[in-house]
Amino acid sequence: FRFLDNRLFATCSDDTTIALWDLRKLNTKVCTLHGHTSWVKNIEYDTNTRLLVTSGFDGNVIIWDTNRCTEDGCPHKKFFHTRFLMRMRLTPDCSKMLISTSSGYLLILHDLDLNKSLEVGSYPILRARRTTSSSDITSSGSSSGSSGPRVAGSPCHQNDSAPLSEKHMSRSSQREGGSPRNSLEVLTPEVPGERDRGNCITSLQLHPKGWATLLRCSSNTDDQEWTCVYEFQEGAPVRPVSPRCSLRLTHCIEEANVGRGYIKELCFSPDGRMISSPHGFGIRLLGFDAHCSELVDCLPKEASPLKEIRSLYSHNDVVLTTKFSPTHCQIASGCLSGRVSLYQPKF
């Protein structure tokens, strides 16, 4: 779910709908939003424009104008489409949109403008990092309403038969002295042990201060699973169509790989110093170093292992999600059988 203000919040559902609720009257919905055709898995909110942003397994990112909301819903439009979409996030300042796919791609829309819908061929596309051939990028496929296909496929719409070239650059969309709005960067993030086999990015989270992104990746053969942290490297490319390579792998750790095929949602602590990660029938608390230092204070020159601070096991089934309380010293975890456990540190 996502709060829009101090009383209105939105929830998404696998029934393809989004619901708006008012804290003062929770027995009925304010309205139900229809637009997706498959499970809706993410809700984001741009406080600058008051636009609600949702994504689902139909591959669509949809913008909802909550400024003109009625009992029948609110105006909406399809902002972006990509095959094999898994998760979508906005950075804390809403300047970037990150999209992960089950085919191992991470898409970053820089200098985000939600008022402008994107059509393939009408906006600049930056070259994919670690992409070996155009046939890998443009291979066909279709998404499904499950945890996502485990086959290689294009991160862009099927009509983009010759992606990542200068001919797609729209001169009118460029700004003087900088990169254009909604410029798209396509990355295949470096994952230890997955250089040749490819991977599926099942979970995507952002550092609360916007310094880094956190990914949970599993191999296409489901025999390895990793948690990886990537630092944002800011700065415009030398040329608008040159690679930004704006993410750098800083920390990683291999996971238990229990409950194959299920998505495990991990998270940052509110201050960004710790990571809570599902690990078999429990969770692990991970830090960038043994002292739980800030990421910016312990950035390694090369990728380093995350440090295990504590392991907590209280479930009888595979843990699929974990979350820090935003206001209290408390952690929650939920497992496949539906049980939720709460943990509170003792001082």
Q: Is the pLDDT of residue 72 over 60?
A: yes
Which pLDDT belongs to residue 203?
93
Query: Going edge to edge, which strands form the sheet with 40-46?
Result: 40-46, 51-56, 60-65, 76-81
Which of 64-73, 76-85, 114-123 has the least mean pLDDT? 114-123
**Rounded Cα–Cα distance for residues 217 and 227 (Å):** 6
Q: Where are the domains of the chain?
A: 189-233+242-346
Contact yes or no for 258/218 (Cβ under 8 A) = no
Contact yes or no for 40/54 (Cβ under 8 A) = yes
Q: Is the pLDDT of residue 265 over 70?
A: yes
Which pLDDT belongs to residue 251?
95
Q: What is the mean pLDDT of residues 97-119?
A: 88
Q: Is the pLDDT of residue 36 over 60?
A: yes
**Rounded Cα–Cα distance for residues 83 and 315 (Å):** 35
Which pLDDT belongs to residue 108?
92
DSSP for 10-25 reads EEE-TTSEEEEEETTB
**Rounded Cα–Cα distance for residues 87 and 206 (Å):** 11
**Rounded Cα–Cα distance for residues 219 and 255 (Å):** 12
Contact yes or no for 243/108 (Cβ under 8 A) = no
Q: Is the pLDDT of residue 329 over 70?
A: yes
Secondary structure of residue 297 in the 3-state scheme: helix
Maximum C-alpha span of the chain: 61
The residue among 26, 29, 5 whose CA lies nearest residue 18 is 29
Q: Is the pLDDT of residue 55 over 80?
A: yes
Which of 170-174, 176-180, 199-203, 294-298 has the least mean pLDDT? 170-174
**Residue entry with tokens 């304010």:** 30
Angle CA(277)–CA(278)–CA(284) in degrees, nearest 5? 55
By CB atoms closer than 10 A (0-12, 13-18, 19+), residue 204 is buried
State whether CATH 2.170.8.10 applies to domain 189-233+242-346.
no
183 confidence band (pLDDT: 50, 70, 90): confident
Which pLDDT belongs to residue 193?
66
**Rounded Cα–Cα distance for residues 123 and 125 (Å):** 7
Which pLDDT belongs to residue 117?
72
Which of 17-21, 88-92, 192-196, 228-232 has the least mean pLDDT? 192-196
What's the pLDDT tens digit per position in 1-29? 888 888 899 999 999 999 999 999 889 99
Most confident of 124-138, 162-176, 285-299: 285-299
- Please give the mean pLDDT across all residues of the chain: 79
What's the pLDDT tens digit per position in 118-163? 754 444 444 444 433 222 332 323 333 333 333 333 333 333 333 3
Q: What is the mean pLDDT of residues 280-302?
A: 94
Which pLDDT belongs to residue 179?
56
